[in-house]
Amino acid sequence: MQTVDIRSLLKDHSLFKEEAFINGNWIQSKNTFLVNNPATDEMIANVANLGTQDAELAITAAEKALPAWRSKLAKERAQIMRKWFDLILENTQDLAKLMTLEQGKPLAEAAGEVVYGTSFVEWFAEEAKRVEGSILGITWSDKRLMVVKQPIDVCVTITPWNFPIAMITRKIAPALTAGCTIVIQPAELTPLSALALAELAKRAGIPDGVINIVTADANQSIAIGKTLCASPTVRHLSFTGSTEVGRILMEQCTPTVKKLALELGGHAPFIVFEDADIDAAVSGAMESKFRNSGQTCVCANRFYVHKKVQDVFVEKFAKALSVIKVGDGIQTGITQGPLIETAALKKVKKHVADALGKGATLVSGGKRTVECKNFYEPTILANVNSEMLITYEETFGPGAPIIPVESDEEVIKLANNSQFGLASYFLSRDIGRVWKVAEALEYGMVGVNTGLISNEVAPFGGIKQAGLGRDGSVYGMDE
Ligand code: SIN
């Protein structure tokens, strides 16, 4: 039962697709699954629920499309990618609406994600012409050694619901640019953005079979994932999601020895030293914590604040929260949308209740907002300690725990006490400390005096159990 007519909200009705996309064709299925608007609980789409045979067809389509695509000049591929970039940007408003409806993030933030997503398409289209090999030092007088970079061929990407466009473009733009073909399995909660991207790719002239999208519900996704991992034709798998699922995919890819790029769980520390610019710390905290309602892998999950500046930081941070307007992101003026589903909200509630039960102080928020079951207030907790769940489990929601600290050694030790070495942040105006702490933090990414580190130029990825490889940047092309 579909209760919202999405087409009527779009300027270009044909961007709303409920079919999967294989070999340039829109594929219907007798089985479908419902997509829900997390802000209203309304059903917004009924999408093709594919099976493993369809996944095989998608792999075959990608394999067949490969020779012609990889033998194009890099410049030709770049021109097509550039057209796709232009078309995505031209349709920003429609894409943002689709994203808000299926994912919940406010319209302005969704439009921001479209622009962020296109930055990868543009950047890799430009980079296509600069994939260079090398001539190595001479070992023998009568021979020369040469390194030539080639596409890895058929790739698969399994993408998350929190960035329904940017996580696809960040992964597939380098692959397409390099001459690979791809099968995308988008998150079952947010397939509509992915399908709209495919429609624009077709209009841009990306040949049939180069991009394929297999849509499926949670159950079928597991079976399809297994098929994609088991296929000897697929040479590379890129995944963004939880460490738990990453481990399963790694195991499933072992028999065919696939190359893997995994961007997994995070638990970012955010450190405010006593010499920090407190206003900059507050705006960094706002950017890092409340982006996408706290549902990013790089969101600050624990705030270590020096005792000398704790009171002023907490006071200013709490004041800054008053500008956040929680509600249905399709409405004007809303700056924080819902959590993606009830299970996500339950986790935030559990973390907050656990902290309060163990002696934390509630500074701000701390409960669901009344409008709909998936909305949770932006929340600050003070006097938090390492015994509390929120300091070691990823919250993926709008809860900001403040842990008072004193020495650099203590805070570095606390910050590094996590298996999830994805992102970290700190603020200090002491240049000596900046170098020392940046190098001491065991994280793939360190933001210094900022809460926002993601862009197309910088390599994105983690260490320890936060994953393997890098997305974006020249390193992403090698990946
Ligand atoms: C993520 O949450 O996985 C991605 C966040 C980003 O690109 O900044």
HEC string for the chain: CCCCCHHHHCCCHHHCCCCEEECCEEECCCCEEEEECCCCCCEEEEEECCCHHHHHHHHHHHHHHHHHHHCCCHHHHHHHHHHHHHHHHHCHHHHHHHHHHHHCCCHHHHHHHHHHHHHHHHHHHHHHHHCCCEECCCCCCCCCCEECCCCCCEEEEECCCCCCCHHHHHHHHHHHHHCCEEEEECCCCCHHHHHHHHHHHHHHCCCCCCEEECCCCHHHHHHHHHHHHHCCCCCEEEEECCHHHHHHHHHHHCCCCCEEEEECCCCEEEEECCCCCHHHHHHHHHHHHHHHHHCCCCCEEEEEEEHHHHHHHHHHHHHHHCCCCECCCCCCCCCECCCCCHHHHHHHHHHHHHHHHCCCEEEECCCECCCCCCCECCEEEECCCCCCHHHCCCCCCCEEEEEEECCHHHHHHHHHCCCEECEEEEECCCHHHHHHHHHHCCCCEEEECCCCCCCCCCCECCEECCEECCECHHHHHHC
Kindly state the average pLDDT of the residues 450-462.
96
- Given ligand 1 and candidates 297, 301, 340, which is best to mutate, with the most ligand atoms within 8 Å of its CB? 297
Question: Which pLDDT score is estimated for 325?
Answer: 95
Kindly state the average pLDDT of the residues 69-74.
97
Question: Which pLDDT score is estimated for 1?
Answer: 53
Question: Using 50, 70 and 90 to split pLDDT, how confident is the model at 127?
Answer: very high
CA of 6 to the centre of ligand 1 (A): 27
Q: Is 155 a catalytic residue?
A: no
In this structure, the residue with its CA closest to atom 8 of ligand 1 is 454
Question: Using 50, 70 and 90 to split pLDDT, how confident is the model at 252?
Answer: very high
pTM value is: 0.96
CA of 2 to the centre of ligand 1 (A): 30
In this structure, the residue with its CA closest to atom 3 of ligand 1 is 297
Give tens-digit pLDDT for 307-324.
999 999 999 999 999 999
* Ligand 1 pocket by Cβ (under 6 Å): 162-163, 166, 240, 263, 296-298, 454
Give tens-digit pLDDT for 33-57.
999 999 999 999 999 999 999 999 9
CA of 298 to the centre of ligand 1 (A): 6
Give tens-digit pLDDT for 370-417.
767 799 999 999 999 999 999 999 999 999 999 999 999 999 999 999
Question: Which pLDDT score is estimated for 395?
Answer: 96
Considering the candidates 155, 180, 253, 297, report the single residue annotated as catalytic: 297
Q: Indicate the average pLDDT of the chain.
A: 96
Considering the candidates 102, 263, 456, 479, report the single residue annotated as catalytic: 263
CA of 141 to the centre of ligand 1 (A): 49
Residue 2 confidence (pLDDT) above 60: no
